[in-house]
Structure 1
Amino acid sequence: MTTITDTVDRSTDISQPLDRLGPDETLKYNSDYLRGTIEHGLLDRITGSVSYEDNKLMKFHGIYQQDDRDIRDERRRQKLEPAYTFMVRVRLPGGICSPEQWLKIDALARAHGGNTIRLTTRQTFQFHWVLKEDIKPTIQGLHEVLLDTIAACGDDARGVMCTSDPSDSAVHAEVAALAAATSHHVIPRARGYHEIWYGKERVATSEEEEPFYGRTYLPRKFKIGFVIPPSNDIDVYTQDLGFIAIAGPDGLEGFNVSIGGGMGRTDNEPRTYPRLADVIGFIPKDRLIEATDAVMAVQRDYGNRAERARARFKYTVDDKGVEWVKAEIERRMGAPFAPARPFAFTSNGDRFGWRRTETGRFDYTLFIQNGRVSNLPGRPMMDGLRALAGVHRGAFRLTPNQNLIIADIAAEDRPAIEAILAEHGLAEADRQSALRLNSIACVALPTCALAMAESERYLPDLMTRIEEILAANGLLDEPITIRMTGCPNGCARPYVAEIAFTGRAPGKYNLYVGGGFHGERLNRLYRENIGEAAILETLGEMLGRYAAERAAGEHFGDFVMRAGYFDAA
């Protein structure tokens, strides 16, 4: 019988017969290290799609096949195949982007991405509406400015996050560099990506093409993030592996390590659930890579490869137990964790507008609703950001909340930046409610194949109606985190928000409330499968009570948990 065997030195034999594993494991094993038949499928002009198998494998290359669901039924009636396009996601460690890279992203979006750019909740760019024949020019264009899409999706370590708006510039610079080094370390090594997208010649095939991942990679996606207290903008407790920076008098000393976070769940399947990570100890900064390898190796070797819905690291941690997993990580590192160091979070949002940094330079945080960059009437954001990139001499930082920081601005350059912001109507944060500034939505319809309801296109309108309730109760300036997804998978990290909606059907959502303001507590399901009228009625009652009964400084999520809304549960 064919078996999957180890390609690295491991202490136990975990070889598993292929017929006992999920179909995705067999597909990966037989894919020739993710090459599949992708190169041939791209040449097929009869269809705008690729095969089912290649669609699965292309995710490891940062690419998802999608179609326009707004016109799916009409095309079916006309006996036409769906209007296939592709989403291409960039690998951008820590969300840091140079002006040159921004200009290339802008040019590629105008040429191949429907004249729009999407900033994601994992601090990177997504192109939507890319046709099959335009995928290769898009990826080659990214390569020209030293960007790629490797491992932006798939069963591997996804894009590595890092706090975007720190109070300490020196510590952030070091942590951001470590986040980038970690990202470069954990991506797959096989050369199939370079052969397919860059036209590189295949030199050799070896069982050592993936010295860490092996032929079946990880059981599911694996998310890594670096956070710098007191900001928890990356929602570190939702990461499979989190590194919480601990600084001392002389700068960065190391990291508290958290494991086992994750948002995704499946409706009506209680064996799937969101989970917050556990902090298991402290490591000095020089042990970062060995700790990363050890944690990922535990998931690689013990993650569930038979039942994909239970394959995330959070389930491995729960099935094996936190202490068992911690001990196994320590064994692989060859040293124990030190006790976790004290730290505190105060928020997980962004600070908008101008801020002077400790180096005497300036940052400007720009509000971008749901991360959608496009040219709108009276607010040509895409043109404005292109103009900014043409004169800016610092960096751009994409935030985990889908906003953008124009970073490292010299004092003498500030007037030019201010003029471009004003000319293109971009300085709008001071005209938004605190609720809107703390909102996140996933893309959902019309492109996401998993969406059951609207999200990005609907949340702004719903917030307008909720803002009327806030205004009536004097709460417009009260920061409340609100998030929406078109399905239960959790791409906008809904289960740690104070108010969250997950799509169940067109116009119907599950309503969750009570999350911690800085991501420290999961929310709870309060109303199931309700429409807008019921949403507004429910939130109207809650927000009215909150305005009348809250304690001084009490956040909405804390009030909900204190006020007895779940006492009967």
Structure 2
Amino acid sequence: MTAPIPKEWNVIAPNGSAVEQIKDRSDYLRGNLAEDFQNPLTAAVSEANVQLVKFHGFYQQDDRDLRVQRQEKKLEPAHSFMIRLRVPGGELSAEQWLKMDAISDTYGNHTLRITTRQALQFHGIIKFEIKKTIQAMQAAALDSISGCGDVNRNVMCTPDPSLSPLHAEIFPWAQKISEHLLPRSRAYHEIWLDEPAGKRLVAGGETEEVEPLYGKHYLPRKFKIAITIPPYNDMDVYANDIGLIAIAEHGKLQGFNVAVGGGLGMTFGREDTYARLASVIGFCTPEQVLAVCYHIVGIQRDFGNRQDRKLSRFKYTLDQYGLTWFKQELNTRLGFELAAVRPFEFITTGDRLGWSETTNGLWHLGLRLEYGRVVDTAAQSLKSALVAIAQANLCSFRMTGNQNLVLVNIKPEHKATVEQLLKQSGYNPDASHLSGLRRHSIACVALNTCPQAMAEAERYLPELITKLEASLDRYGLRQAEIKIRMTGCPNGCGRSVLAEIGLIGKSPGRYNLYLGASFNGDRLNTLYRENQDEAAILSTLDGLFAAYAQTRRQQESFGDFVQRTVLTS
């Protein structure tokens, strides 16, 4: 299909969505945020600012466990904010980890949470302490710019240095791409960091263009980029708007295969919404990658749907106009053609857990976290243990896209100390004592804070896995590596449609059951049963586990088994 000439992207048609109108009036993301956050009469912000603050890296939420109770007392909901750091590649120094931990205790709910985008979230920040929180982040040389909103989000990259000797060469590209695609508006700095408002007029009195990439309306929806290093697909690279697959020859980085148009969110009841895996379209050199990312974002800016936000992700733009048109448009903007795709292979989307060593003699420890939540409990004081490790400056910290944590660059003489501090806290760093199902599980936050959640996820999946482990034990499958993921709604935060067993919430206690994604992340799963309660889920999976144990082929993954025997039969 031939695409129309794009509208001037600093002008919004009258039928643009409500969010487009908010961006149009925002004065490059400023709006009246400064005044709204000083309003002492409510813990919330205006409806327009609920959308605008996302560009500054935070979401307004309320405690849904208390919602009805507060309504009965004629009180407004228990509002607070979730703030999401921008941490390209997921790396924090020991000093930064300590400062983030202090923020969680001083302003948050005493927890940290690692996200499926390799970032860090604070929960429970009240409106009147947002500014203090952001200033504390700034003191650690960190920010939340583009943590959310219709811009390029946190750029992900395979975080474990032990996975590839090329890691040190590839990892910095996450930071480079993130910086290259950052919004240029100074609204964040003016509102939260008290930077004086600059002179934003040029000769003639017209407003200076402050967003050379995004324009005043930014993108139609969020945009996501990830880098991965074969044979590991730990970033779920096909789930991203741009996936960059590092290609090496003879130990030297050659460049990146470029995949475009991934996205997992959908809307119940709308068949025109769907999950899509990214399409691999070509190869670029390291010197070309910034321009490639920039112009792909520019095409989505110009041609993405700004009327219906349900259809505004990049995947829909690609499917509307076609890959042939897109590649022609990209080549024209670049001034060169992408080279042919280079061969590569993925083996898993999982993280390496436990101890591993690199060629330079340093050690790395992959820690399995339960859905990214760093917290002290009666049974386990992992949060305090990580503080002690950081205070001793024994390592730096790398967050993973699977909600886990890698302690990197540990000297051999410090291994025993790190392990001792973890074990004293009640945390066992050897994840082999966990079932394969639990080791590979992912869950979004869902209830009680996410406003989109229709059902539980983080709070419920551990309990469900315990019940499923009874079946695994019955059939000798406890250590079988089976990937299960749960989300409280169909928006895709937990990447459930890329799981061998995917559960997506429909209503409290009920889930759609999806089966059959590949172990290496290159095949989506398929809806198998709708609106299932716990008993139905347990019964269905028990039968499948029994069949898998009895009739699987050698080295056959659970997803491939289900695809072969159930979904295609």
Report the TM-score when normalising by structure 1: 0.96
In the aligned structure 2, how far is the partner of 1:425 from the partner of 1:405? 18
Which residue of structure 1 lines up, in the alignment, with residue 376 of structure 2?
375
In the aligned structure 2, how far is the partner of 1:315 from the partner of 1:498? 25
* Structure 1: unaligned runs, 5 residues or longer: 1-9
Shift of 1:423: 1.1
Which residue of structure 1 lines up, in the alignment, with residue 300 of structure 2?
299
In the aligned structure 2, how far is the partner of 1:154 from the partner of 1:13? 22
Preserved CA contact (<8 Å) 2:446 2:456:
yes
Preserved CA contact (<8 Å) 2:164 2:229:
no
Preserved CA contact (<8 Å) 1:392 1:409:
no
In the aligned structure 2, how far is the partner of 1:17 from the partner of 1:202? 26
> What does 1:190-229 align with in structure 2 at a 5 Å threshold?
190-205=185-200, 206-229=207-230
Matched, 1:388 2:383: no
Shift of 1:419: 1.4
- 1:166–1:547 distance in 2 versus 1, CA, 3 Å: farther
Matched, 1:94 2:89: yes
1:275-312, Cα deviation, whole Å (9 max, x unpaired) = 00000000011101100111101100010111110000
Which residue of structure 2 lines up, in the alignment, with residue 537 of structure 1?
539
> What does 1:399-418 align with in structure 2 at a 5 Å threshold?
399-418=400-419
**Which residue identity is paired with 2:24?**
Y
Preserved CA contact (<8 Å) 1:168 1:358:
no
Among 157, 160, 180, the residue aligned to 1:162: 157
Which residue of structure 2 lines up, in the alignment, with residue 63 of structure 1?
58
Matched, 1:139 2:140: no
Shift of 1:13: 4.9
1:81-116, Cα deviation, whole Å (9 max, x unpaired) = 000000000000010110011000100001111111
Which residue of structure 1 lines up, in the alignment, with residue 362 of structure 2?
361
Among 113, 121, 131, the residue aligned to 1:118: 113
Among 548, 551, 554, the residue aligned to 1:552: 554
In the aligned structure 1, how far is the partner of 2:348 from the partner of 2:426? 28
Shift of 1:249: 1.6
**Which residue identity is paired with 1:379?**
Q
> What does 1:414-563 align with in structure 2 at a 5 Å threshold?
414-428=415-429, 429-563=431-565
Matched, 1:105 2:117: no
Preserved CA contact (<8 Å) 2:162 2:356:
no
In the aligned structure 2, how far is the partner of 1:207 from the partner of 1:181? 25
In the aligned structure 1, how far is the partner of 2:83 from the partner of 2:329? 36
**Which residue identity is paired with 1:309?**
K
1:111-133, Cα deviation, whole Å (9 max, x unpaired) = 11111111101111100111011
Q: Which stretch of structure 1 is more off in the superposition, 95-104 or 243-252? A: 243-252
Shift of 1:17: 4.8
**Which residue identity is paired with 1:241?**
I
In the aligned structure 1, how far is the partner of 2:453 from the partner of 2:315? 23
**Which residue identity is paired with 2:281?**
I
Report the TM-score when normalising by structure 2: 0.96
In the aligned structure 1, how far is the partner of 2:440 from the partner of 2:38? 44
In the aligned structure 1, how far is the partner of 2:164 from the partner of 2:531? 45
Preserved CA contact (<8 Å) 2:166 2:251:
no
In the aligned structure 2, how far is the partner of 1:480 from the partner of 1:509? 19
Preserved CA contact (<8 Å) 1:166 1:231:
no
In the aligned structure 1, how far is the partner of 2:482 from the partner of 2:160? 19
Which residue of structure 2 lines up, in the alignment, with residue 6 of structure 1?
none
1:225-268, Cα deviation, whole Å (9 max, x unpaired) = 00000110110000000110001224211000000000100011
Matched, 1:22 2:24: no
Q: Secondary structure at the match of 1:365?
A: strand
Q: Which stretch of structure 1 is more off in the superposition, 488-497 or 387-396? A: 387-396
Q: Secondary structure at the match of 1:153?
A: coil
Shift of 1:468: 0.6
Which residue of structure 1 lines up, in the alignment, with residue 567 of structure 2?
565
Q: Secondary structure at the match of 1:375?
A: coil
In the aligned structure 2, how far is the partner of 1:403 from the partner of 1:79? 41
In the aligned structure 2, how far is the partner of 1:91 from the partner of 1:417? 27
Q: Secondary structure at the match of 2:503?
A: strand
Shift of 1:11: 8.3
In the aligned structure 1, how far is the partner of 2:190 from the partner of 2:271? 43
In the aligned structure 1, how far is the partner of 2:350 from the partner of 2:510? 27
Q: Which stretch of structure 1 is more off in the superposition, 502-511 or 386-395? A: 386-395
Matched, 1:238 2:233: no
- After TM superposition, where is structure 1 displaced by more than 6 Å over at least 4 residues in a row? none
Q: Which stretch of structure 1 is more off in the superposition, 170-179 or 284-293? A: 170-179
In the aligned structure 2, how far is the partner of 1:112 from the partner of 1:94? 25
**Which residue identity is paired with 1:530?**
Q
In the aligned structure 2, how far is the partner of 1:109 from the partner of 1:151? 20
Q: Secondary structure at the match of 1:118?
A: strand
**Which residue identity is paired with 2:468?**
I
Preserved CA contact (<8 Å) 2:33 2:49:
yes
Q: Secondary structure at the match of 1:376?
A: coil
**Pairwise CA RMSD:** 1.3
Preserved CA contact (<8 Å) 2:161 2:168:
no
1:319-342, Cα deviation, whole Å (9 max, x unpaired) = 010111111111111100110101
In the aligned structure 2, how far is the partner of 1:558 from the partner of 1:366? 28
**Count of residue pairs the alignment pairs up:** 558
Shift of 1:170: 4.0
In the aligned structure 1, how far is the partner of 2:423 from the partner of 2:460? 27
Q: Which stretch of structure 1 is more off in the superposition, 428-437 or 85-94? A: 428-437
Among 175, 180, 183, the residue aligned to 1:188: 183
In the aligned structure 2, how far is the partner of 1:233 from the partner of 1:250? 20
Q: Secondary structure at the match of 2:166?
A: helix
Matched, 1:37 2:32: yes
Which residue of structure 2 lines up, in the alignment, with residue 5 of structure 1?
none
Identity %: 47
Preserved CA contact (<8 Å) 2:436 2:481:
yes
Preserved CA contact (<8 Å) 2:368 2:439:
yes
1:508-537, Cα deviation, whole Å (9 max, x unpaired) = 000000001111100000000010000001
Preserved CA contact (<8 Å) 2:6 2:303:
no
Among 72, 81, 85, the residue aligned to 2:80: 85
In the aligned structure 2, how far is the partner of 1:403 from the partner of 1:168? 15
* Structure 2: unaligned runs, 5 residues or longer: 201-206
**Which residue identity is paired with 1:113?**
G
- 1:372–1:325 distance in 2 versus 1, CA, 3 Å: same
In the aligned structure 1, how far is the partner of 2:436 from the partner of 2:391? 31
> What does 1:307-322 align with in structure 2 at a 5 Å threshold?
307-322=308-323
Which residue of structure 2 lines up, in the alignment, with residue 323 of structure 1?
324
